[in-house]
Structure 1
């Protein structure tokens, strides 16, 4: 597995980061036990870091999978706004991941300088945690060009996790060119960058090599998080990122099946999912309605539905 340096201050990590959303309860593609086995297999194949978030609800799953892989690095993220909320998020992660020191911790889904200002209490707590040695590297995740630009200038920030793919799907402001320009600036000043939604939430999965090659050619991006929910998908992605030929039988096993967001008919139209959607892919008529082209299958809407109406199928 090719190793890359994550920015000027970050560690050397594998070119692929295991995106654990795909094995989490938030997406429900596999059971917790199945997901743990997939993650263990990925670690055995040389993938040495894992992306998660507090809302994924899979800290204990990751702790179990990494029990025999203490060298594996873990990235987590939190929506914490205040210092107190961030302290609770950090302690929850340390306790449930069974880690005295957290490798990476990010503010989740920052959109601009304004949202970062609104989360200043949480950011200051991250800085304090870093000074105390409780967290090694800190940063943000974002679906926005302005999030990247503001994050790059945030004091003490080490890493940015942006949405990025060759069609610019999921970027909530600006164009793909704007995003590439912002990432170039971040990289030039030493920020580590690892991309998310390389396959556009499945919309670009019909030509995965094109999607992969696009990311690999961007000098300002060092790595990428890929969601994998089977051992075959791990094997497939490792061959894909290395540029090796993928056997026909493996290609058939991993044939990307179209997925979509399903909304059950008992939806009451409360609108909570619409408020939670970072892509503005949901609106309410009598019930919630999804724009499948805009949806990137993050599953964040499902976590706020009080009636469990939303599911990725």
Structure 2
């Protein structure tokens, strides 16, 4: 990464096609919905309040996170706060059973939008994302025409696509109505920077980075003996049993991830946590509009937001991080996603 690519993490992230500027650290609301172990509702609300108090103004959720629990918690917090609302992005499609391309039709998508409107207690959704759809969906003009119709009806303000693979993101940004692409990008998943991120920036498409901490591996707190609750995807999806394996530990074998974390640990700046370092590394890429780490409590939410204030990482640190990726991680993930 060259110096010209480095970015002030505290500057606003851009969704140029949508005309939005947002905080470069957002709030990922998957964990407060489900499949990350139990989170008390009071803790979930405290995490959201803390993030918003810290200046976060972008929240990402989905209709399947806790079967709507995440959306409903967000609605309750925003109603309690009043005042100016952050941008709330949600997703649709994963309620389909089976999850097939044919299910992404106008009737189903409008029904999903109506359900999210009710959960979020709003008249219009800020951003609706296709939720890692089958690849054929990205080639179907009827799907994007239906999304345009939902905009015309006033039910959604903007739409985007959440993808698993770089190639899917490259296809998504060709649709003129797509204002955002959500993708996994972190110290363990560096391939998007090669082509997708700069091309999205050229087209004014905002990049939303999910799984920034590789399901917690990049917090530096996990060990070989760390255990996870039965309803935590880090327990039941390690081989992709429930959904794409790349969503769990960024697709990196757990033991390999632990080895790479130890190799990265000396690069963490003084007075920063490894998680903050991992977030700051992502924000060095100026094409990233916002990164959406999850938080199960207020302390985690504040620490995540504070990562944006860290000084820029040096070229030497960036090169060393890339070396760890090339040596230990890339053989497992680089060509898969």
User: 29-38 vs 49-58, which deviates more?
Assistant: 29-38
Map 1:240-279; keep pairs closer than 5 Å. Answer: 240-243=307-310
The answer to whether the aligner puts 1:21 opposite 2:44 as a matched pair is no
SS of 2:212's equivalent? Answer: coil
- For residues 145 and 179 of structure 1, the distance between their equivalents in structure 2, rounded to whole angstroms, comes to 10
Q: 1:90 aligns with which of 113, 117, 120?
A: 113
> What TM-score does the superposition give when structure 2 sets the normalisation length?
0.65
Contact 1:83 1:122 in 2 (8 A): yes
TM-score, normalised with respect to structure 1: 0.70
Alignment equivalent of 1:60, drawn from 67, 72, 81? 72
More relative contact order in 1 or in 2 (CA 8 Å, sep 6+)? 2
SS of residue matched to 2:292: strand
Q: Which moved more, 1:63-72 or 1:223-232?
A: 63-72
Structure 2 SS opposite 1:137: strand
Q: Return the match for 1:219 from 286, 304, 315.
A: 286
Gaps of 5+ in 2: 1-9, 94-102, 221-273, 312-331
Q: Which residue of 1 aligns with 2:139?
A: 117
Which whole-Å CA distance do the structure 1 matches of 2:194 and 2:158 have between them?
23
Cα separation, partners in 2 of 1:46 and 1:38, compared to 1, 3 Å: same
Q: Is the contact between residue 10 and residue 137 of structure 1 (CA under 8 Å) also seen in structure 2? A: no
In the TM superposition, what is the alpha-carbon distance from 1:156 to its structure 2 partner? 1.0
Match of 2:184 in 1: 163
Query: What is the CA deviation profile of residues 83-110 of structure 1, one whole-angstrom value per residue up to 9, with x for unaligned ones?
Result: 1110101111111211111100010014
The question of whether the paired residues in 2 share the 8 Å contact of 1:145 and 1:179 is answered with no
> Please, which of 176, 181, 193 is the counterpart of residue 195 of structure 2?
181
2:302 partner SS? helix
Q: Which has the higher helix share?
A: 2
Matched, 1:232 2:253: no
Q: Distance in 2 between matches of 1:51 and 1:29?
A: 19
Q: Secondary structure at the match of 1:222?
A: strand
Deviation at 1:218? 1.0
Quick one: which of 44, 47, 51 aligns to 2:53?
44
Match 1:153 to one of 168, 174, 177: 174
* Structure 1 vs Structure 2 CA RMSD: 2.2
- Please list, as runs of the form range in 1=range in 2, the aligned pairs for 1:199-218 lying within 5 A after superposition: 199-206=213-220, 207-218=274-285
1:99 corresponding residue in structure 2: 122
Decide which structure has greater strand share: 1
Partners of 1:50 and 1:125 in 2: how far apart? Answer: 24
- Deviation string 1:41-84 (CA, Å, 9 cap, x unpaired) is 22122111210001012221111011024512210001161111
